[in-house]
């Protein structure tokens, strides 16, 4: 081999080797670049996955918070824990515990003119009551609580224009408060119930309507004379579509016992039973005495009996009373009649009746008339005032019977030495 050929072959091999090495270096560079891209893509995918997971978690938290806020701010519904549903309430999420909060406030101005043409006037707060009610454990265990703080804040004019000037068989503490009602009731189902506590005695229907649902500024004179007021004891009840029966075994503050915060004992408790028949309409119509326009026809018939045992040491036997009443609603007009009689162990029984009517002048205003008539025997026993009386008044309703403005004129049929006529203007707010 010549030197020229050897040199040529050596040069060609070196060139080929250089070319192969260059190509290998390019491949390695490409591999490194691909690895870098793969690493970058993996990092980006990991970040996106974390971002989506966080976003999903945040959306879940926001959804839960909004759902809880909706539940807490909702005023109605089975999941509500607080709000307003015909009154303010607080309830557990499952509905087994509930507290309803109510209030009644009445502010009045009254004027009375006596037989000598002398007059008195003044402001007063006939009622300022706080009411609590609800149930515990489950809706079948219910309770009520009511405290009053005002009846002793009456002006002289109210007492003068009131035939009796009493506080409805209630007794107040020295600080002006009165624990009116405390009850615990168990609903056994199928309309049967039983309870314990201090509550209105089931005798006169107007007494059971309560302070806020009277037709006028307050209770009628018939109710004030014959009502059993409040009693402390045990109750039983039965309620059906057309019938309602209530019974009570109790001590009574209105008939000589000490009061709801500590009764004197009698030889035996008093007894009262009231039965009602719903001839037409629905029960809710008769939570009041007014019939608003658009309401359907309704009629309620009631009867009751009570036996009041006199306090220990009294020479009198039990005083027995009975009553019947009829109330009718005509959708814009209502009328009612009440008869009550008492055997007080004298030579003659005492009795009285009340007739009332109410007519809606517009959607929000009515005019009413009430006539109370007492037997002569009772007039002779209560010599301070002439009981037979006529009341005429108007109501301006802002929210049903709960919020209204009432103006009433009351006068006895015959003038007497105490008063000639009286006027009272009253604003009521309740929920």
Within a domain: residue 357? yes
Other beta carbons within 10 angstroms of residue 263's beta carbon come to 20
Mean pLDDT for the stretch of residues 362-375: 92
Q: Quick one: what percent of the chain has pLDDT higher than 70? A: 65
pLDDT greater than 70 at residue 352: yes
pLDDT greater than 70 at residue 338: yes
DSSP letter for each residue of 56-83: HHHHHHHHHHHHHHHHHH-SSSTT-SEE
Instruction: Quote the pLDDT of residue 39.
Output: 67
Within a domain: residue 165? yes
Mean pLDDT for the stretch of residues 96-109: 93
Does 124 lie in the same domain as 237?
A: yes
Does 404 lie in the same domain as 294?
A: yes
For the segment 249-258, what is each residue's pLDDT rounded down to a tens digit? 998 654 444 4
Could you tell me the pLDDT band of residue 112, with boundaries at 50, 70 and 90?
A: confident
Give the angle 395-367-352 at the CA atoms, nearest 5°: 100
Averaged pLDDT score across all residues of the chain: 78
Within a domain: residue 10? yes
Could you list the residue range(s) of the whole structural domain that residue 369 is in?
A: 85-430
The CATH number given to whatever domain includes residue 310 is 2.40.160.10
For the segment 50-60, what is each residue's pLDDT rounded down to a tens digit? 566 666 776 77
Within a domain: residue 401? yes
Instruction: Quote the pLDDT of residue 69.
Output: 60
Does 248 lie in the same domain as 144?
A: yes
Does 133 lie in the same domain as 30?
A: no
Within a domain: residue 113? yes
pLDDT greater than 90 at residue 356: yes
Does 266 lie in the same domain as 131?
A: yes
Does 106 lie in the same domain as 64?
A: no
Within a domain: residue 166? yes
Within a domain: residue 80? no
Residue with the larger pLDDT of the pair 195 and 401: 195
Instruction: Quote the pLDDT of residue 2.
Output: 53
- Half-sphere exposure in the Cβ direction for 293 (13 Å, CA): 9
Instruction: Quote the pLDDT of residue 311.
Output: 55
Does 253 lie in the same domain as 134?
A: yes
DSSP letter for each residue of 341-367: EEE-SSSS-EEEEEEEEEEESSSSEEE
Residue with the larger pLDDT of the pair 316 and 335: 335
3-state helix, strand, coil in the chain (%, to 5): 25, 45, 30
Does 115 lie in the same domain as 41?
A: no
Please tell me the distance from the alpha carbon of residue 170 to that of residue 219, in angstroms, as a whole number. 14
For the segment 17-43, what is each residue's pLDDT rounded down to a tens digit? 454 455 556 667 767 777 776 666 566
Instruction: Quote the pLDDT of residue 153.
Output: 47
Max avg pLDDT among 91-95, 126-130, 273-277: 273-277
Q: Decide which of 43, 73, 103 is a domain's last residue.
A: 73
Q: Decide which of 38, 73, 108 is a domain's last residue.
A: 73
Could you tell me the pLDDT band of residue 325, with boundaries at 50, 70 and 90?
A: very high
Within a domain: residue 78? no
Does 115 lie in the same domain as 35?
A: no
Does 67 lie in the same domain as 99?
A: no
Does 58 lie in the same domain as 192?
A: no
Could you tell me the pLDDT band of residue 273, with boundaries at 50, 70 and 90?
A: very high
Please tell me the distance from the alpha carbon of residue 46 to that of residue 23, in angstroms, as a whole number. 35
Of 100-109, 125-134, 160-169, 274-283, the range with the lowest mean pLDDT is 160-169
Does 105 lie in the same domain as 171?
A: yes
Please tell me the distance from the alpha carbon of residue 203 to that of residue 214, in angstroms, as a whole number. 16
Number of structural domains (the chain) is 2
Q: Decide which of 32, 50, 73 is a domain's last residue.
A: 73
Please tell me the distance from the alpha carbon of residue 217 to that of residue 222, in angstroms, as a whole number. 14
Instruction: Quote the pLDDT of residue 41.
Output: 59
pLDDT greater than 80 at residue 206: yes
In the block, tokens 């009693």 appear at 231
The dihedrals phi and psi of 218, each to the nearest 5 degrees, come to -170, -165
């Amino acid at each position: 081999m010549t030197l020229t050929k050897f040199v040529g072959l050596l040069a060609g091999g070196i060139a080929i080797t250089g070319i192969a090495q260059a190509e290998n270096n390019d491949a390695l560079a490409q591999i490194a670049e691909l690895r870098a891209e793969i690493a970058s893509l993996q990092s980006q995918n990991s970040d996106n996955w974390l971002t989506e997971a966080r976003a999903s978690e945040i959306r879940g938290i926001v959804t839960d918070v909004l759902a809880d806020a909706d539940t807490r701010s909702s005023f109605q519904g089975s999941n509500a824990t607080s709000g307003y549903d015909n009154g303010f309430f607080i309830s557990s999420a499952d509905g087994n515990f509930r507290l309803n909060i109510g209030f009644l406030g009445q502010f009045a101005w009254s004027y009375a003119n006596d037989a000598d043409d002398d007059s008195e006037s003044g402001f007063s707060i006939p009622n300022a009551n706080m009411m609590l009610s609800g149930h515990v454990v489950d809706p079948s265990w219910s309770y009520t609580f009511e405290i009053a703080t005002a009846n002793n804040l009456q002006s002289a004019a109210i007492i003068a224009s009131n035939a009796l000037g009493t506080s409805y068989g209630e007794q107040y503490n020295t600080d002006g408060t009165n624990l009116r009602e405390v009850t615990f009731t168990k609903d056994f189902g199928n309309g049967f119930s039983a309870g314990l506590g201090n509550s209105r005695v089931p005798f006169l229907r107007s007494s059971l309507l309560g302070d806020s649902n009277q037709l006028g500024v307050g209770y009628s004179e018939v109710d004030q004379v014959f009502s059993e007021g409040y009693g402390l004891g045990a109750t039983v009840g039965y309620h059906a579509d057309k019938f309602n029966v209530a019974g009570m075994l109790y001590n009574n503050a209105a008939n000589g016992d000490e009061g709801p915060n500590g009764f004197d004992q009698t030889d035996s408790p008093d007894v009262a039973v009231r039965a009602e028949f719903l001839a037409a309409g629905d029960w809710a119509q008769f939570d009041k005495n007014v019939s608003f326009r658009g309401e359907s026809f309704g009629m309620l018939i009631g009867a009751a009996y009570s036996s009041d045992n006199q306090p220990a040491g009294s020479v009198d036997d039990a005083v027995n009373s009975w009553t019947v009443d009829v109330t009718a609603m005509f959708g814009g007009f209502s009328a009612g009649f009440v008869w009550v009689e008492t055997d007080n162990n004298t030579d003659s029984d005492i009795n009285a009746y009340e007739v009332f009517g109410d007519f809606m002048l517009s959607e929000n205003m009515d005019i009413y008339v009430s006539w109370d008539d007492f037997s002569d025997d009772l007039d002779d026993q209560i010599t301070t005032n002439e009981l037979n009386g006529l009341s005429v008044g108007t109501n301006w309703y802002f929210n049903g019977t709960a919020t209204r403005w009432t103006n009433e004129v009351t006068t006895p049929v015959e003038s007497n030495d105490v008063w000639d006529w009286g006027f009272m203007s009253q604003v009521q707010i309740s929920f």
